[in-house]
Structure 1
Amino acid sequence: MLPHHSFYFLRHGETDWNKARRLQGLTDVPLNARGEEQAALARTIAAGLGLKSIAVSSLSRARRTAEIVNRDLGLPVTHYDTLREFDVGPYEGSTDGSWLEHWFTDGAVEGPESFSNFRQRILGGMIEALTLEHPVLIVAHGGVFWALQRMLGFAELAHIPNAVVARFDPPATVGGPWQITLLSGAPSPQAVITA
């Protein structure tokens, strides 16, 4: 289980494969021009969060996003292979996501990393990342956002757009739900996701 610490999460900026709705998985696709702009906008939000450290996936789209966000902050950045996107196997570069709903229920899909194994990898990475000085910003991937929601007991998995900052808050009471707040400019609450 995740440590009961609040933390921030940022999905990397847009890539050409995101724009074309292609599954990226472990393919190291760089940010496109729009992704760079999105990361710069996320930087303005991150500047007001009082962050102390950044944990980032080792894939370049996440690393570049973190680099842009950290440009004026100068925070320590730690890279984690364990926070990389899930391996989609033969679906790399494909627009066929028809198998995802079955995969989300821990159904067997030949080729991709199983959702169960992916969650275990992300849990290990998050436990390590959350030992960094708080508040921590996790810069990673849409699949990591799905894994975190499932680990925290969310029945429905919400999608997070590119370069949106989310705040994860632990339960206010024993056995209560985690809460995720998607932040927009200011930062002001844009949307709240609860388990």
Structure 2
Amino acid sequence: MRRYLLCTVLFFTMISCVVNRTVVAKPILFDAEREQLTLEYMRDRYGLETSSSAIDPKMIVLHWTVIPTMEESYKAFYEAKLPNWRPDLENVSGLNVSSQFLIDQDGTIYQLLPETTMARHVIGLNHCAIGVENVGGGEGLPLTRKQLKSNVWLVKYLKEKYDIDYVIGHYEYTNFEGHELWLEKDSAYRTVKTDPGEHFMKKVRKATRKLEFKLVPEK
């Protein structure tokens, strides 16, 4: 009986932690300039003539920043235009990279943009994708267990709100070339990605398998 009560207490404690998890609002700059750059990106990259930067989310893309701190990661996304240290992307668009969410190494979830406002974080799919960036990553600063738990919680939370079909790692984005969701017009515009790592994605998929997301297309 005592063991049963202990298990019951632990169970409801875990449920409470999930239910009470909070998302901290920490908006990046989304002024008239960023709005205009976003609309130009949608027009030039995707052929979408629209007066709104709103998206209809169909997928979640998980990333890592390879930047060691939350403050530096946030700073990298904050401005509307690409900073000087990203000249490789400037010929494509002056719109700065960003995402809707940023998760710190301690698991804190920050919301940078509204979920249905387009962010530039994945080639070909920004028009339908919610981006989740994780501070750190790579060999020097691996993603943490707390970040994993927050990613799993956020994926479940977003699935409840939107008709999400796919959850993918950034490294899987080129699998969607030729898919109905793929809109990038320039066949030469591709970058090689490894984030957030295959091992991390396997854990996320295992924890969210009951949501029955669609399989990533094979190349």
Between structures 1 and 2, the one with greater strand share: 1
Taking structure 1 as the reference length, the TM-score comes to 0.33
Between structures 1 and 2, the one with greater helix share: 2
Greater relative contact order: 1 or 2 (C-alpha under 8 angstroms, separation 6 or more)? Answer: 1
Q: Which of the pair has more CA radius of gyration?
A: 2
